[in-house]
Amino acid sequence: MFRTRLISGIVLVLLAMVVVPRGGALLYCVTAAISLIGMFELYRVMKIEREVPGLVGYAACLAYYGIVWFEGQQYVTLLAIAALMLLMTVYVFTFPRYGTEQITVAFFGIFYLGVMLSYLYQVRAMADGKYLVWLIFLSSWGCDTCAYCVGMLLGRHKLAPVLSPKKSIEGAVGGVVGAAALGFLYASVFGHRMIEVTEPQFACAGACAIAAVISQIGDLAASAIKRNHNVKDYGHLIPGHGGVLDRFDSMIFTAPAIYFAVLFLR
């Protein structure tokens, strides 16, 4: 299992090193595909992956990505209202085929996987995005690694004993500090190339620290959904890791966190 997980992790890193630097249409399409696959995995938990509410969710996600591509962010609220109204129409006219939770999750998935993950592309599209986008990976994967190491060495107090017994408060703090340090070191190497970030070391360290806190919430949130529905993994797309949601659960939260943190800190 460890060998499979390691190989899959290396492949993911290599793919990221090919797709992310190019940005543009390639990263846009890959991000949209990951969002849709993640939505399928989430909807499968609720048994609506091929039902009408799920189809509405996929259509709304695609519409949102169209808005992102054409920079029409002023229409996001309209899209949200239209999607909710359409889902409630389905709920009413097919009652009692779908439960309230299924309709709610269908709407939730649009934002959880569609909107939030789209910030991976949106950070890359920012000024200095070709450097800032890597903060998403540093704050999520870096936090995971540092939290694991510190937790193994110093972990004494449980962070969420029922939900994730192996996670500790010491590990969580170590993950945040480690992510901030990685952000600082990264900016020390590449900060001089950034045009619009005036104090890159401070900005990148602060952004990574903020995102690291939020990434751990994202990780626990994805675990909570699985626990609520007695699901071990969301899928088997990534050998040794599970599905898209199992691997990108923290990145779903760090992508928008980095976007807005950099927006204010720079």
pLDDT per position as a tens digit, 123-164: 999 989 999 999 999 999 889 889 989 988 888 888 888 888
- The vertex-47 CA angle with 61 and 62, nearest 5°, equals 10
Query: How confident is the model at residue 79, as a pLDDT?
Result: 96
Query: How confident is the model at residue 163, as a pLDDT?
Result: 83
User: Which positions ≥6 away from 114 have C-beta within 8 Å?
Assistant: 35, 39, 60, 61, 64, 65
* Same-domain status, 189 and 114: no
Alpha carbon dihedral 10, 251, 119, 178, in 10-degree steps, equals: -90
Query: How confident is the model at residue 44, as a pLDDT?
Result: 94
> Does the pLDDT value for residue 240 go beyond 80?
no
Q: At what angle do helices 52-69 and 100-109 cross, to 10 degrees?
A: 20
Asked if residue 8 belongs to a domain, the reply is no
Q: Give percent of the chain above pLDDT 70.
A: 97
Alpha helices per DSSP H over 155-196:
169-190
* Same-domain status, 179 and 255: yes
Query: How confident is the model at residue 164, as a pLDDT?
Result: 83
* Same-domain status, 174 and 186: yes
Asked if residue 32 belongs to a domain, the reply is yes
Structural domains counted in the chain: 2
* Same-domain status, 266 and 139: yes
Query: How confident is the model at residue 153, as a pLDDT?
Result: 87
Residue range 116-122: average pLDDT? 96
> Does the pLDDT value for residue 227 go beyond 90?
no
Domain extent, residue 135, equals 128-266
pLDDT digits 0-9 by tens, 19-40? 999 999 999 999 999 999 999 9
Domain boundary among 124, 158, 186: 124
Asked if residue 11 belongs to a domain, the reply is no
* Same-domain status, 30 and 85: yes
Question: What is the average pLDDT score of the chain?
Answer: 91
> Does the pLDDT value for residue 239 go beyond 90?
no
Query: How confident is the model at residue 8, as a pLDDT?
Result: 72
Domain boundary among 63, 91, 124: 124
pLDDT digits 0-9 by tens, 43-91? 999 999 999 999 999 999 999 999 999 988 899 999 999 999 999 999 9
Give the pLDDT band (50/70/90) at residue 241: low
Asked if residue 6 belongs to a domain, the reply is no
Q: Is the pTM higher than 0.85?
A: yes
> Does the pLDDT value for residue 2 go beyond 80?
no
Asked if residue 190 belongs to a domain, the reply is yes
* Same-domain status, 81 and 198: no
Give the pLDDT band (50/70/90) at residue 6: low
Asked if residue 51 belongs to a domain, the reply is yes
> Which structure tokens are listed for 257?
């966190």
In a 3-state reduction of DSSP, which class is residue 166?
Answer: strand
* Same-domain status, 118 and 137: no
Asked if residue 7 belongs to a domain, the reply is no
CB atoms < 10 A from the CB of 71, how many? 8
Residue range 103-124: average pLDDT? 96
Domain boundary among 89, 124, 159: 124
Asked if residue 189 belongs to a domain, the reply is yes
* Same-domain status, 255 and 150: yes
In a 3-state reduction of DSSP, which class is residue 168?
Answer: strand
Query: How confident is the model at residue 223, as a pLDDT?
Result: 86
Query: How confident is the model at residue 14, as a pLDDT?
Result: 87
Query: How confident is the model at residue 208, as a pLDDT?
Result: 95
